[in-house]
Structure 1
């Protein structure tokens, strides 16, 4: 065993203890702020805001289901490597909620593409009623679909993962498609379409200059939300791409005999790409938004001031009632 590879388990522990714990805390704070802000009156009737609220809620649940057992296992037995039932349930709910989050995010991208389109029929997709129907339908879809891959998952030799043989290969292919390739393609395609619409919107012919041609009015808040989503797409691509590549590599080399060093390196790569990195994308949306959009920062400031005012008023009323 090489000296470099032998330090990888220790590095993994440090990444979990300090890195994962940090982004779990920041992610919980940010996602709660997201949910509060996107139910704020200025955002509430915007379909994209509803998608982001739903993505934040499911992302919050998915983040904690995914990371807390890993952090807990640093100093305690990992329930997913001890109990078959816990292994199956954690995989089922982790997969369901994280996929809901990614689906809602893609819906938000589609909504931004639609609202910036010059085609009136495409723009009609960006409606509050459609957003509500989709938000209700997405959990039903993923709770049902996740039942099948869960049957391929089990606890073997202290490892919670795909059953050996064909089941493991099928599960790897499924995860590569639904977690890696399909979300990435959706984000890239609609990200590029959003960019194209943003570039064309200023040069688009106005209705008063050509009969029958209409151009959408893109308000500043809508432009800001589009920019926020575009930056978030880049973050998703960075965090999801290594996971998809790692799964493809595992499927292709499953039958190859590997040395101890190779096993250590692959184990660390699987942890880093399939656990540490991929769940990080649950936690960074709020922090991207606050860095990118001045409007969003202003709304965060207003929310904080209102919360402080409410706390101050309640404290004053309580002191008055006591005296």
Structure 2
């Protein structure tokens, strides 16, 4: 048994060490590429692209702060989390708040695509830049306020932890529901509604074609329609994979918080499972560029145009 325990510890440490490095490296590179793409003139005035740009910023903050502080604690023997009260509270607050902002911006992108694909003119009017600015500000404020209880509950006990007893259960349920079930449940709902809206629009277009016998679309309308479809595909891919990764982590976290404290071999297995799901959790904030690249021709073409433009500017060609 001791040999098996030793092997599990070695594998867990290796996966945690290299996994976090890979996530941080690929995630940082992907976020930089997202910034390059979403600041292009073709997307600068699109509400959905604005939400994607905002979520990229908070993805980068989530990874650089969350991964680096966890890496320091797990592999460089940093004891700030168990010796500095201010750091304990601030880290616990930020590792919940920053990812929450990112998730709610992705949620807003799914809401925007749902509204923009509606057959109702009134609903389509919600897809505007001025609404995107206000909704982003509201999402940030709500995230900051909703997690403020963490600043009170977390303290050195003697290591950094929340208050024991019923509040520990509340904290676990809060993270699972507020950071997991609610945003991703709404994402999937808006995504499903968007698909239904697209099908309804296609049926109405087909009926109109049969009735009138001809359909005339300007070049601008055609380009804008293709752009919206590509953004919808990006949104569906982002929300689907995000829901899978985050809900996997939240389910594991709920199991860890609510189950009786394990000892011995079972405790080691639980630690290994938590380390693996932590990597999955931060993978969620590193994946967006690669998901957009795989799912959208529009994103790939704009990204390549921006890269070519950067090289031409640098080399003066």
The normalised TM-score by structure 2 is 0.89
- Alignment equivalent of 1:241, drawn from 230, 244, 247: 247
Give the structure with the higher percent helix.
Answer: 2
Cα distance in 2 for partners of 1:288, 1:187 equals 16
CA contact (8 A) 2:107 2:184 kept: no
Gaps of 5+ in 1: 211-215, 317-323
User: Residue 275 of structure 2: SS of its match in structure 1?
Assistant: helix
Q: Secondary structure at the match of 1:43?
A: coil
Structure 1 Cα separation of the partners of residues 158 and 2 of structure 2: 25
2:262 maps to which residue? 258
Q: Which residue of 2 aligns with 1:306?
A: 309
How far apart, CA to CA, are the structure 1 residues paired with 2:112 and 2:54? 14
Tell me what 1:289 maps to. Answer: 292
**Residue-by-residue CA offset, 1:204-234 (whole Å, 9 max, x unaligned):** 2466859xxxxx9871111111111111122
> In the alignment, which residue of structure 1 is the partner of 2:229?
223
What is the deviation of 1:108?
0.2
For each residue in 1:60-79, what CA deviation from the matched residue of structure 2 results, as whole angstroms up to 9, or x when unmatched? 11111110112233134243
Higher relative contact order (CA 8 A, sep 6+): 2
Deviations 1:243-294 (A, max 9, x none): 22223323432xx353311111222222322x21111100100111111112
Counterparts in 2 of 1:78 and 1:298: CA distance versus 1, 3 Å? farther
Listed as ranges, the gaps of 5+ residues in structure 2 are 213-220
Shift in alpha-carbon separation, 1:252–1:143, aligned structure 2, 3 A: closer
The equivalent residue for 1:204 is 204
Cα distance between partner residues in 2 of 1:10 and 1:163: 32
Contact kept, 8 Å, 1:69 with 1:79, in 2: the verdict is no
Q: Which residue number in structure 2 is paired with residue 85 of structure 1?
A: 86
Distance in 2, Cα, partners of 1:18 & 1:235: 22
